[in-house]
Copies of this chain bind each other. A is one copy, B any other.
Amino acid sequence: MAAKLTRKDIAKAAGVSPSTVSRALSGSKLIPEETVAMIREVAGRMGYRPNLLAKRLAVNRSFQIGFVLPLGLNRKGPLQMSYYSTILDGMVGAAFPRGFSVGIHPYDSESEGAASSLADIVTRRDADGLVILGLTQGSPIPGALLKASIPFVLIGSCHKKAHSVNCEQSPAIREMLRTVKELSYERLIYVKGAAQYYDAALQEGSLKEALKETPFKSFHEMDGDYSRTSGYKAAERLFSEGGLLRGKRLPKTCVFLACDRMAMGFYRFCQERGIRIPDEVGVVGSDRDDAAQGLHPELSTMRQPRLEMGRSAVDMLIDLCEGSDPEPKDMMIEERFLKRGSI
């Protein structure tokens, strides 16, 4: 392996000054083509690799994006939830061609302390900006970051003065309701998500709105918290003595759950009791979770545009870091309804 080469070595070999090398290699307009070609050739032949650390210091930018995600959502790490890893995938895909890389920064809580440690990521130039996931509603973090003028983009939450990317659920939910209705379901049960999340609120709002257009004879809500257990318990309540589905002459019922994990719990209960899906009850999930792939019959659900959300967030963030696009905006990307065998 060649010893560590710097611009100086190339300059000497090419018979020009270091700054000329620098300009040639970074495509400056000032240098004539032939000089550029010559220098390129020399650099290539010698195997010169510019030192990124030096460049970063010189321009005071890290060319990194901080991917900020909450710790402690489950026993395992957050990256094991496909929601996060898919968004990360989209981010990496968008960052790479723009010369950025993505670093991962878990955060503990949503305290003021957390806000300042997130701000530090940028202040210390570990990243040029942040993409922040999993914030609950009313979190102090966006405000604090704004005050510190840290560039950031939220995913799955929003703030009036900040950039954000969210999932537009209305059209898919409207389509889902129409489809369910056409299958002559008469009763709809909605198992809600954890109330502290913006996503959950968005979904509930979209559903209620869509119900005006496609009303059901009977509509009920049940609380849930996005966990498998809460889906299981919802089924338990529905099918237990005092529940909605007792009695002999049932109206045809469809259960819409705020996430696929809950649907998995719901399935589990049905499987244990021999309740047939969709013959005895229809089931619809919400976020096409990979973990639900193995369900049989296949779960009807929504395809969240997670890759696109990650990509858009990165694009917005880089624009933001580059000074353009200072108007805060909430970008909404549409999800799609996927009809499968569960209804």
Contacts and interface: CB of A to CB of B under 8 A. Distances in A.
Given A53-B57, A294-B294, A294-B295, A104 B79 contact: no
A322 B76 CA distance: 29
Nearest to A102: B104
Interface in A282-339: 290-296, 299, 307
Interface in A82-141: 82, 85-86, 88-90, 92-93, 96, 101-106, 120, 123-126
Contact of A292 (B60, B101, B294): B294
A12 interface: no
Nearest to A122: B49
A1 B52 contact: no
A291 B298 CA distance: 13
Contacts of A89: 76-80
Contacts of A101: 103-105, 126
Interface residues of A, number: 53
Contact of A120 (B49, B56, B264): B49
Contacts of A233: none
B103 A103 contact: yes
Contact of A290 (B54, B80, B123, B268): B80
Given A76-B307, A77-B92, A292-B294, A1 B148 contact: yes
Given A60-B53, A79-B85, A103 B105 contact: no
A196 interface: no
A256 interface: no
A220 interface: no
A267 interface: yes
A82 B106 CA distance: 18
A268 to B, nearest CB: 7
A149 interface: yes
A86 B96 contact: no
Interface string A260-277: 000010011001000000
